[in-house]
Amino acid sequence: MSDGVKQPVAAPFVLRVAGVLVGCLTAVLGLLYFAVAGTALGAFLLWPRTRRRAHALLATGARRLTALERRRRSVFFRDGFPEHRASDRQILRYLAARTCSGLLCAVVVALVDFGAVLAAVFAVSVTRSSLTWVDLLSQLVLGGTLLFLAVQGLRALTEQDARLARECFGPSERELLRRRIDELATSRAAVVHAVDVERRRVERDLHDGVQQRLVALAMLLGRARRGRTPERADALLEQAHREAQEVLTELREVAWRVYPTALDSLGLREALGGVSERCAVPVRMEYDVPEGDGPEGDGRVRGAAGGRPGPLPAAVETAAYFVVSEAVTNAAKHACADEVFVRVRRAGDRLTVVVRDTGVGGADPGGSGLTGLRSRVAALDGTLDVDSPLGGPTTITAELPCA
């Protein structure tokens, strides 16, 4: 997750130990700061008229010590934090908690050092005096137990230090998980809604378009069968033939709106070319996606040999196609556009689709068509931006991750 703490390389054990010891010293600095600043600003913090300004001054100094703590985490623990500015309240709360944790850690470290000295003294006394096996075993068990508890305490305090840093310098793991769950739940609901809207549109197209034409075709054929003269029957059959061709054309259009088979057989570039050919207004296409040398020459991006990116995922191709198809259709039907410009470009692991028309603008981003597109793009962790001021032009930009 890009907005959380990144640890690409684990810090060496010795470096982390040094970071813990330095943290004990910075905790002493925090204690001194609160003691001095609290004494100097205590009266101003209690007076309502000066409380806000005194609180800001206290947070300003605390922010500098917090920056030192952030630097310590970066140097000794190799933590990478996002660009995040915490509030004054978060800064003071973090520094207070970090000071208490660091002081407690310093006490535990001091006890460990004291225990190490006692262990050395005990070892020397063992060589110079005679102890029974019972006394020796009891001393070893007691010392080992205390050492184990001290090590576990240091480990818990170190983990708490890392958790406090994440909560102050960036979203916590729980917050990141909650955000991701909310995003997935919203995306899932949006996809279900978009699929339902698309299904209803297909049903409406079939009922109002294809079905009515088929009824008309059946009526023409029936009239041709009942024709009293060959000339009348031939005229009705010719009209029925034209109607059948129009039905096939409309049925093909409905099928393309459901899923274009050209994506599987020819690739994204050729499928978008079909959109341009069927559009009632001129479409200028700029396709800047690296092409591979596939066996069928289908124009798709092939393997990553030579450092080139891998092929576009099928879901990304489908989403890009529907973005272009819906935007071009809207420009031709509703925007009164004279021309449409389409640019499809891949840079690294992102595919950018831009559709701009010369229409009157005023497109509603909350409309059913654009909402469905936004849901389809969001399901792939992409973004869809609609810029359509009154008077135009309308620009639709979609960014789709290809990883």
Domain locations in the chain? 13-171, 190-258, 262-401
pLDDT exceeds cutoff 60 at 3: no
pLDDT tens digit string along 34-56? 999 988 988 888 888 888 898 88
Average pLDDT of the segment spanning 385-399: 87
Burial 162-194 (b: 16+ CB within 10 A, else e): ebbbbbbbbbbeeebeeeeeeeeeebeebbeeb
What token pair was written down for 235?
């005229």
pLDDT at 300: 40
Cβ of 63: how many Cβ atoms within 10 Å?
Answer: 16
| Location of structure tokens 């020796």 | 136
pLDDT exceeds cutoff 80 at 393: yes
Q: How far apart are CA 273 and CA 290, in angstroms?
A: 17
pLDDT tens digit string along 295-311? 333 434 344 444 556 77
Lowest mean pLDDT among 3-17, 195-209, 242-256, 269-283: 3-17
Q: How far apart are CA 380 and CA 383, in angstroms?
A: 9
Across the chain, mean pLDDT equals 79
Taking the domain 262-401, which CATH number applies? 3.30.565.10
pLDDT at 94: 92
Contact between 349 and 403 (Cβ < 8 Å):
yes
Residue 338's pLDDT band, with cuts at 50, 70 and 90, is: confident
pLDDT exceeds cutoff 70 at 166: yes
pLDDT tens digit string along 52-81? 898 889 989 999 999 999 889 888 887 777
Ranges of beta strands (E only) in 255-389 are 283-288, 340-347, 350-357, 383-387
Q: Work out the angle at residue 311's Cα, subtended by the Cα atoms of residues 307 and 315, and round it to the nearest 5 degrees.
A: 145
Average pLDDT of the segment spanning 341-364: 87
pLDDT at 297: 38
Does this model's pTM top 0.85? My answer is: no
Is the model more confident about 180 or about 286?
286
pLDDT exceeds cutoff 50 at 4: no
pLDDT at 2: 41
Residue 197's pLDDT band, with cuts at 50, 70 and 90, is: low
Residue 30's pLDDT band, with cuts at 50, 70 and 90, is: very high
Share of the chain above pLDDT 90, in %: 14
pLDDT at 234: 79
